[in-house]
């Protein structure tokens, strides 16, 4: 399992390369600070699935709707990875 730092590095790389975030802060509001929208969220979830190596179930994807910040993304990925491990 990846460490939080490894997850953070990957997510920051995705956000800067694929979503053109400029110097994202971990507590930035994705929508307000970076114009992140629902289509971006769907794309990001697909990238998260690839990173995790499994397809998220509908209820797991619904849990992602509460994500507001990069820290929320990291928490979410850790929770999804942990839920599959047990």
Q: 7: which residues sit within 8 A by CB, 6+ positions away?
A: 51, 74, 77, 78
Domain ranges of the chain: 4-85
Task: State which CATH number among 3.10.180.10, 1.10.1200.10, 3.40.50.620, 3.30.390.50 fits the domain covering 4-85.
Answer: 1.10.1200.10
pLDDT digits (tens, 9 = 90+) for 7-51: 999 999 999 999 999 999 999 999 999 999 999 999 999 999 999
Categorize the per-residue pLDDT at 85 as very low, low, confident or very high, splitting at 50, 70 and 90: confident
The whole-angstrom separation of Cα 70 and Cα 53 is 20
Categorize the per-residue pLDDT at 86 as very low, low, confident or very high, splitting at 50, 70 and 90: low
């Amino acid at each position: 399992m990846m460490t939080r730092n490894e997850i953070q590095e990957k997510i920051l790389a995705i956000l800067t390369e694929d979503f053109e975030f400029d110097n994202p802060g971990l507590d930035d509001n994705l929508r307000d600070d970076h114009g992140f929208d629902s289509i971006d969220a769907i794309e990001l979830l697909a990238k998260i699935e690839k990173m995790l190596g499994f397809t998220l179930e509908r209820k797991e994807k619904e849990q992602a709707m509460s994500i507001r910040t990069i820290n929320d993304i990291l928490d979410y990925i850790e929770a999804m990875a942990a839920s599959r491990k047990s």
